Amino acid sequence: AVHKIAVIGGDGIGPEVIDQAVRAAEVAARKHDGAELKWNHLPWSTAYYKQHGRMLPEDGWEQLKPYDAILFGAVGDPSVPDKITVHELLLPMRRKFDQYVNLRPAYLFAGVPCPLVGKKPGEIDMLVYRENTEGEYAPVGGNLYPGTENQIAIQTGVFTWKGCERILRAAFEAAQKRPRKKLTSITKSNAQVYGLGLWDDVFNTVRKDYPDVDSSSLLVDAAAMDFVRKPEVFDVVVASNLFGDILTDLSAAVTGSIGLASSANINPTKKFPSMFEPVHGSAPDIAGQGKANPLAAVLSAALMLDHLGLAKSAAAVRKAVATVLAEGRVKTPDLAGTHTTTDMGNAVVEAVG
Ligand code: NAI
Ligand code: MG
């Protein structure tokens, strides 16, 4: 089978890490699933913006719709406000394509030091399901009397029964398929009684359909402490947009490096394409120097292979990454080594077969 993939490298280290992800995924798909990946590189980025006055063509969203998946690097450049780059390309994509599941795994690989919490390889193994279309990031609010000392800003969180139900069900389905079958729902419903109170109501309704899953609820402040103190107790974690965002930077830090943190923005109905991207940004501080760790992008491509139904290829990519990290011969600077982005990509491609 042929799978059509749109590639948006974006800015800074985005294209550097995505190149390596494309190589690894292509080799794995061919070798392990006999599948062909057809890549189409789209130049949408800050450079594109400077030339055309917009981040993507007028019919850009229409152009993306027929693809089986989107592989995304990162956007953001010091010369243009994030309000344009991130807000015109990345954030609308999640909403326009209704990518309501933001899946962010956190796994402690052998060979990666864990100085923050001192856990052993494999001890941290969680899947965070972050709600990706509403909640605290809903573009609802306003500004009164701007620029005066009477200024009032209102930022409204939007929680809907349907929105809560679909992310909670996605998380429960995932928990059911994992050996530990455990799920933790994160809220702050003792303080945010309306929005997260609704979340809790939905949680208590949905959990009845999954009696085999050991589910519980935890307040976000306690969760922040436990992510550091005892991250090994978590299996599947499900959280609102803001809490999921913050907790996954924390889970990335405790598992070694933001350079290893992968993510998927999934529309489970497959009505629109899903998008796969490293958690990190464009890292202008190290861009163009070959210092970026491509493994976050490579692991994001593995999530893409899973979504395309190429489970063997996905497993092969993850195994190759685990092997390269465990051997420790090739290490980028974030892992206290001196190898380049391409060295790391080469090592993974070799390990894939
Ligand atoms: P960042 O994630 O780009 O960088 C944070 C720190 O982590 C930097 O020191 C960077 O060198 C390091 N780092 C990031 N990725 C790395 C990798 N693969 N290997 C080794 N080190 C890595 O976050 P920052 O600096 O806050 O944002 C830079 C730009 O990226 C901004 O314009 C921001 O808006 C944008 N951004 C875009 C995202 C996206 O497109 N999904 C996500 C986060 C930020
Ligand atoms: Mg974030």
What single string gives the DSSP state of each residue in 203-246?
Answer: HHHHGGG-TTSEEEEEEHHHHHHHHHH-GGG-SEEEE-HHHHHH
Ligand 1 center from residue 257 Cα (angstroms): 12
Q: In this predicted structure, what is the pLDDT of residue 112?
A: 93
Domains of the chain (ranges, CATH numbers): 1-100+266-353 (3.40.718.10), 125-254 (3.40.718.10)
Pocket of ligand 1 (CB under 6 A): 13, 17, 74-76, 82, 86, 90, 258-259, 277, 280-286, 292-293, 296, 334
Task: Please answer whether residues 38 and 72 qualify as being in contact, where contact means their C-beta atoms are separated by less than 8 angstroms.
Answer: no
Mean of all residue pLDDT scores within the chain = 96
Q: In this predicted structure, what is the pLDDT of residue 340?
A: 98
Residues 6+ apart with CB under 8 A from 59: none
pLDDT digit string (tens) for 184-222? 999 999 999 999 999 999 999 999 999 999 999 999 999
> At 254, which amino acid appears?
V
Mean pLDDT value of segment 322-350: 97
Report the residue among 258, 276, 339 best suited for mutation to probe ligand 1: largest number of ligand atoms under 8 A from its CB.
258
Q: In this predicted structure, what is the pLDDT of residue 271?
A: 95
What does each C-alpha distance from 273 to 99, 173, 185, 299 come to in angstroms?
8, 21, 27, 18
Asked whether residue 256 carries a pLDDT value surpassing 90, the answer given is no
Nearest Cα residue to 227 out of 245, 258, 250, 257: 250
Mean pLDDT value of segment 110-136: 92
Mean pLDDT value of segment 21-38: 98
Q: What is the DSSP secondary structure assignment for residue 88, as one 8-state letter?
A: I
Task: Please answer whether residues 300 and 263 qualify as being in contact, where contact means their C-beta atoms are separated by less than 8 angstroms.
Answer: yes
Which atom in ligand 1 lies closest to the alpha carbon of residue 77? 32
What is the Rg, in whole angstroms, of the alpha carbon atoms belonging to the chain? 20
Asked whether residue 15 carries a pLDDT value surpassing 90, the answer given is yes
Asked whether residue 117 carries a pLDDT value surpassing 90, the answer given is no
Q: In this predicted structure, what is the pLDDT of residue 114?
A: 84
Name which of 71-75, 114-118, 290-294, 348-352 the model is least confident about: 114-118
Q: In this predicted structure, what is the pLDDT of residue 113?
A: 86
Ligand 2 center from residue 102 Cα (angstroms): 11
pLDDT digit string (tens) for 295-323? 999 999 999 999 999 999 999 999 999 99
Ligand 1 center from residue 75 Cα (angstroms): 9
Nearest Cα residue to 262 out of 272, 252, 253: 252
Q: What is the pTM of this model?
A: 0.94
Which atom in ligand 1 lies closest to the alpha carbon of residue 286? 11
Asked whether residue 353 carries a pLDDT value surpassing 90, the answer given is no
For residue 91, name the pLDDT band (cuts at 50, 70, 90). confident
pLDDT digit string (tens) for 47-80? 999 999 999 999 999 999 999 999 999 999 999 9
Which residues are part of the catalytic machinery?
137, 188, 221, 245, 249
Residues 6+ apart with CB under 8 A from 264: 101, 102, 103, 104, 274, 275, 276, 300, 303, 304, 307
Ligand 2 center from residue 32 Cα (angstroms): 33
Mean pLDDT value of segment 135-160: 96
Q: In this predicted structure, what is the pLDDT of residue 27?
A: 98
Which atom in ligand 1 lies closest to the alpha carbon of residue 73? 40
Mean pLDDT value of segment 323-333: 97
